[in-house]
A and B are shown apart, each in its own frame.
Chain A
């Protein structure tokens, strides 16, 4: 371990961390934006969901590197290629969680909202989606953390990320660089994970801190895919 390497290369490390953050977070956001309407549709018309789930499972089986490669002819060796590929994976993780989250809303709650005169849209936005937040955020956590880790593979097709430090470290046989890369990828992922936990707490103040019962009771089958 050569500690002096770190301050000497600080600006580069910082730049790569920033790139890696972008490649990890943007796809999760895009995935969420696409998943919300799709999930609402799949939760409402139940017959749509099983075929959608099959498609999601097959898409999720595509190796990230293979998907990067498949997108190269269309988007070149650019950020866009990596972002689109990771958006697909994020979608695969987040969509089932949106559906499970919405389905997990107890029928009695839904009926109470209807009885109070809520229309379908208002009930969805003010009652059902807020109650689904813990499950949706559980999916976001998995997708952000895996994206940040997978984004380092983008370096294999020349898209800059913390993966650069691994590859450069290997080529120069310089372990310090590899340690720094590993450390920053993991710390970056953990920080994002903690931020998402904090966001969930802010958005769902009705949930008891210790035992988040709704989340525990819901089937986490898809959360973990």
Chain B
């Protein structure tokens, strides 16, 4: 039997949709585990990326450290915190925040740093204060890229919240980890497929949001995914 038939049989089994630890409950738990880390990472990384992109200070730091940062294995960090803090709030929150920071930071930085210098000069020449230059000109122009960063961060977090189950928490990873432990491929495949579907929903949601918030004049290039 293939992955999909295992997954399908398990997902369509009605017993899996009711009671405690059912599919809908774990989806909600999964979203809960994903949203907060993403929000915190965004609150840290977007302003940091914007400031660094605007001032140009710390650019080398962003380019090199952000890549090295990805080397931190989420599972390792999670387990380390589990050993020291037990199953506390920070144990699952911190690794996911750490995970989501690099893509958000790098994209926000590249977006702002990549704004056409002529446009920046024009904004300055019109007498805008630095605050106005950033909020009215640079951020809107960088928005497609900032959203790409947030989208990547969101997908990382949704995908990786799965391993929170490894230290005994809920979410869709519960099915995967329990299934692996008891050698049942059904829940493992079903849980994995649900995580994929959730990630695709997040992807679609970001496509929709970027259509709504990106200024009309920038939409063409956002679609093509390029800045020249």
Q: Do A and B come from one complex?
A: yes
Question: Are B75 and A166 in contact, with the CB atoms below 8 A?
Answer: yes
Q: Can you give 19 A-B contacts (C-beta < 8 A)?
A: A61-B155, A62-B196, A66-B195, A69-B3, A70-B3, A73-B1, A100-B226, A149-B72, A149-B74, A152-B76, A156-B166, A163-B75, A166-B75, A166-B76, A170-B83, A178-B83, A193-B71, A224-B110, A225-B152
Tell me the complex Cα distance, A219–B68, Å: 21
Q: Closest 6 interchain pairs by CB? A: A63-B159, A189-B71, A66-B192, A219-B227, A61-B199, A224-B106
Q: How far is the CA of A24 from the CA of B17 in the complex (A)?
A: 38
14 extra A-B contacts, CB within 8 A, seeds A219-B114, A224-B107: A71-B3, A100-B226, A141-B67, A145-B67, A145-B70, A149-B72, A156-B166, A163-B76, A166-B73, A170-B79, A182-B77, A186-B71, A219-B227, A221-B226
Say whether chain B's binding surface is mostly helix, strand, loop, or mixed: helix
B193 close to chain A: CB less than 8 A: yes
A185 is an interface residue with CB less than 8 A from chain B: yes
At the interface, yes or no: B202 with Cβ under 8 Å from chain A?
yes
**A58/B203 in contact, CB under 8 A:** yes
B61 at the A interface (CB under 8 A): no
In the complex, the answer to whether B159 meets A142 with C-beta atoms within 8 Å is: no
Instruction: Choose from A62, A152, A153, A156 the contact partner of B199 (Cβ within 8 Å).
Output: A62
Determine which of A61, A66, A188 lies in contact with B193 in the assembled complex, contact meaning CB atoms within 8 Å. A66
Query: Shortest CB–CB separation between residue B77 and chain A, in angstroms?
Result: 7
> In this complex, what residue of A is CB-closest to B84?
A175
CB distance B225 to A222 under 8 Å? yes
| Distance of A100 Cα from B158 Cα, bound (Å) | 28
Q: A47 to chain B: closest CB distance in Å? A: 11
Interchain nearest-CB distance for B207 vs A (Å): 9
Please encode chain A, from 164 to 176, with 1 for each CB lying within 8 Å of some chain B CB and 0 for all others: 0011011001010
Instruction: Please judge, given known A-B contacts A61-B199, A153-B75, A178-B83, whether A225 and B162 are in contact too, CB under 8 Å.
Output: no
For the complex, count residues of B whose C-beta is within 8 A of A: 57
A155, B177: Cα distance in complex, Å: 12
Task: Assess A61 versus B196: contact at CB under 8 Å? Given A190-B71, A193-B67.
Answer: yes
B148 proximity list for chain A (CB < 8 A) = 221, 224-225
Q: Is B139 an interface residue (CB 8 A)?
A: no
Of B76, B103, B167, most buried by chain A (CB within 10 Å of CB) is B76
Interchain CB contact under 8 A, A63 and B79 = no
A148 at the interface (CB under 8 A from B): yes
A62 to B194, CA, bound (A): 10
